[in-house]
Structure 1
Amino acid sequence: MTVTTELDVSELLDMACAKTGLTDFGDDWFREPLGALVRSLNTEAALSSTGLELTKHRLTALLADRLRLWEFQRATPSVLGVEVQVAAEICGLPRTGSTLLHRLLAASPQVTSTLSWEVAYPLPFPGEGPDAEPRKRRARERMRMFSQLSPDFGDLHTVVWDGPEEDVLLLDRTFVSMSFDSFYRVPSYGDWLRSADQRPAYRELREWLQVLQWQNPARSLPWVLKSPHHLTAVDTVLDEFPSCKIVMTHRSPVSAVPSYASMVRAMSSQYSSRVDPVHIGRYWSRRFATTLRDFASARAARPGRFVDVRFTDTVATPLEVARQVLGALGLTAGPADDAAFETYLERNRAERHGTHSYAPEDFGLSEEQLRRDFAFYTEVYL
């Protein structure tokens, strides 16, 4: 029996078809990003044997969901008529308070957001009831497995199976996603991603939101979404979602960049035993500097579509910040919103645990270099 030591696109496609009993992937545009990702994984990621099997399973599952989405749309054409309104995409560098702000805003009864269990399993399982309990149970099991594989991750980022989660996990199914170079050392894929036309991926993101909204018509509320990935495609986001505003969270890159490098080190160690923290630090420092320069250009073209939030304000006065952001989105915060915000803040205090220690030098960086490289950003926004 031949042991596979690398990923193969044709094998992944065949495995997804065998898993689902389906063969129609719809528009083939996704094959280019999938091919770029697989080439980079095979040549750069230094996957361990466990990492290879986990990655093969992950990519097969994402492809299976593409097959299921196409079949779901064919069998339920009314889903394509669902009107999706995105009120906000919360962006900013990772580790800038965007998660706290997202989960606060998502608590408002005036908006909706993607939840952790449904970005993991967005399509109904056969025969499940309206409570989606089989998917929720699977999500809880998946969360437990992730915690075992990366026991320190909860100290960096609190993950709750039924709480708000980044919509970039839906974009994973397009293979156009910052998730991949966060979990793996795939710099050539990262280069491809920065130069790619992401419009097909965002059209599919809308389709996934249609699927989620169709499953619960009472949820026809403005979406408040969040991911730093969207900084790589600001113009595309604003074009695809005309009512959307970019809520930009700001924190000094001197803190944000090494903090994210620490998170990437924890995530990528699941897949490779040869994790290089210096590579991680320098890769993300360069990438974020480029991303923020591009962001400044996009913002200058459409300044009315942006809302600024500073990390220090989010931490110091979270309820006030949440009320202000809702107002900037055209929604007036009332007593029900305040009560929901307070409830979430109490839950957040209970969920937080552990400490997160890091230093720029751990990742081949220095405070002086970070201040110099990001001076163009800090002088304007901080």
Structure 2
Amino acid sequence: MASPPRPHPLARAKPAIWADRAVQALWDGGVTAKPPLEPEFLWSVGSRGFDSEDEHAGRSEAEVEDFRTRLDRLCTSLRGEANLSALGHTMAYGQLTSAIRKRHALGRIWRESPELATTEIAPPILIVGQMRTGTTRIHRLIAADPRHTGTRFCNSHYPVPAKPDLRPLKAGAALAIARRINPWLDTLHPFGATRIDEEIGWLAAALSPATFEAQWHIPEFVRWSEARDPGPVYAEFARILRTDAATMGDEALPRAIKCPQFSEDLPALLAQFPEARVVVTHRDSQAVLDSSVSLIASQMAFQSGQADLATIQAEWGRKLALREKRIEQALSEFEGHVARVEFEALGADWRREIIRIYAALEIEQLPAALAEIEREYERSNTGAHREHRSQIARFAEA
């Protein structure tokens, strides 16, 4: 289904406006109480039904403290800076209680089966680069090679394994709701419940700023997090990855993993996977900023009571410059395999670029693997995300 016209980066769809008004009406009429974004209250909701030991299982005390501190700082920023709409407040409540619940559920699994968190896995292939630089395309092309693997969208956002595995159904339902609220979602990123996707859900489960700063105006939390050691976040990330590999039965296959947040935290990620191979994506900086602002504005528009385009542009100009600097600093000290790819070159001749990437990473090139990669390319080449460039062009003309 074609998306409706998007006249402005901060445009809101009618379902989002209606949902926001409905939530506010429920609060105003006393039908339901507005949930406070206070750590203690959120913790009481998210930890309900779990043992207190589940918070600690598999984790050091420093890692336990890091999550608690992140929750406190994020809540302070949400209450004081974010100016959330009723819908945004509800989404923040849902995401934070969900992160606490996942934290405990994973801890319970590691308490009962500690070996899952330390599963031996093949060194991963890290796709590192700014958002909007072709990371998703490269990620999915490499993961399409039968000798590799990737993380399903549903596994990223629902990292707790269970039998039967109902995560694809849950993710499909969540995406259906998200598409109603934001009908331009698939023009920004090609989603699918079981498609290979970035592991941003695992970072969110550890309260990395990755997913939150793309939705809410929380500069104090973002600056604090940028200055803080992300080691505890990536220790949790590694445990989730190892657990996912064990439960999916693909621990022997190198997993292609990606998230733009990696560019900010690369030393911490490489500390967990020192033998990883790295692919770095590049694109014209203005094009990256324009596309990033469009994506962020689309998410903030319906979650903020007063989203401001100039503020978003300034923040993400700063953010992209910081990430670019950190990528190069980290790679200057990395002695492993690194391949670099330009966005425009990938679009011009993807086969040539994949062959070049494989050569740089010293991965054997097999015709059968290339055929599978080509099938993924053809699948992704017809997605709704191709509309995004025309949206940005219209914004510039307005």
* TM-score, normalised by the number of residues in structure 2: 0.84
Q: 1:171 aligns with which of 180, 203, 217?
A: 203
Corresponding residue number in structure 2 for 1:372? none
Tell me the CA shift for residue 86 of structure 1.
Answer: 3.4
Corresponding residue number in structure 2 for 1:11? 41
Q: Using the alignment, how far apart are the partners of 1:202 and 1:116 within structure 2?
A: 19
Corresponding residue number in structure 1 for 2:338? 306
Name the Cα RMSD after superposition: 2.0
Q: Is the 8 A contact 1:6 1:42 kept in 2?
A: no
Tell me the CA shift for residue 260 of structure 1.
Answer: 0.4
Instruction: For 1:209, give the aligned amino acid.
Output: L
Corresponding residue number in structure 1 for 2:392? 358
Tell me the CA shift for residue 257 of structure 1.
Answer: 0.6
Number of positions where the alignment pairs a residue of Structure 1 with one of Structure 2 = 356
Q: Using the alignment, how far apart are the partners of 1:81 and 1:296 within structure 2?
A: 30
Deviates more, 1:257-266 or 1:46-55: 46-55
The 5 A counterparts of 1:1-382 are 3-4=33-34, 6-18=36-48, 20-23=49-52, 24-26=54-56, 27-125=64-162, 128-129=163-164, 132=165, 134-302=166-334, 304-352=336-384, 355-356=387-388, 357-358=391-392
Tell me the CA shift for residue 282 of structure 1.
Answer: 0.7
Q: Using the alignment, how far apart are the partners of 1:96 and 1:218 within structure 2?
A: 28
Tell me the CA shift for residue 237 of structure 1.
Answer: 1.8
Query: Match of 2:314, SS?
Result: helix
Query: Quick one: structure 1 residues 158 and 52, their matched pair in 2 at CA, closer, same or farther if it must change by over 3 Å?
Result: same
Identity among equivalent pairs (%): 25
Instruction: For 2:384, give the aligned amino acid.
Output: R
Instruction: For 1:14, give the aligned amino acid.
Output: S
Q: Using the alignment, how far apart are the partners of 2:149 and 2:175 within structure 1?
A: 22
Query: Quick one: structure 1 residues 359 and 6, their matched pair in 2 at CA, closer, same or farther if it must change by over 3 Å?
Result: farther
Q: Deviations over 1:199-250 (max 9, x none)?
A: 1111111100111111122442111111110111121122221111331100
Q: Using the alignment, how far apart are the partners of 1:164 and 1:347 within structure 2?
A: 12
Q: Deviations over 1:345-378 (max 9, x none)?
A: 121133335622226986xxxxxxxxxxxxxxxx
Q: Is the 8 A contact 2:338 2:360 kept in 1?
A: no
**Structure 1 gap ranges (5+):** 363-382
Deviates more, 1:314-323 or 1:7-16: 314-323
Q: Is the 8 A contact 1:258 1:359 kept in 2?
A: no
Q: Using the alignment, how far apart are the partners of 2:197 and 2:323 within structure 1?
A: 22
Q: Is the 8 A contact 2:116 2:242 kept in 1?
A: yes
Tell me the CA shift for residue 305 of structure 1.
Answer: 4.3
Query: Quick one: structure 1 residues 8 and 215, their matched pair in 2 at CA, closer, same or farther if it must change by over 3 Å?
Result: same
**Structure 2 gap ranges (5+):** 1-29, 57-63
Tell me the CA shift for residue 84 of structure 1.
Answer: 2.5
Q: Using the alignment, how far apart are the partners of 1:208 and 1:177 within structure 2?
A: 18
Q: Using the alignment, how far apart are the partners of 1:237 and 1:199 within structure 2?
A: 8
Tell me the CA shift for residue 6 of structure 1.
Answer: 4.0
Q: Using the alignment, how far apart are the partners of 2:324 and 2:103 within structure 1?
A: 32
Corresponding residue number in structure 1 for 2:17? none
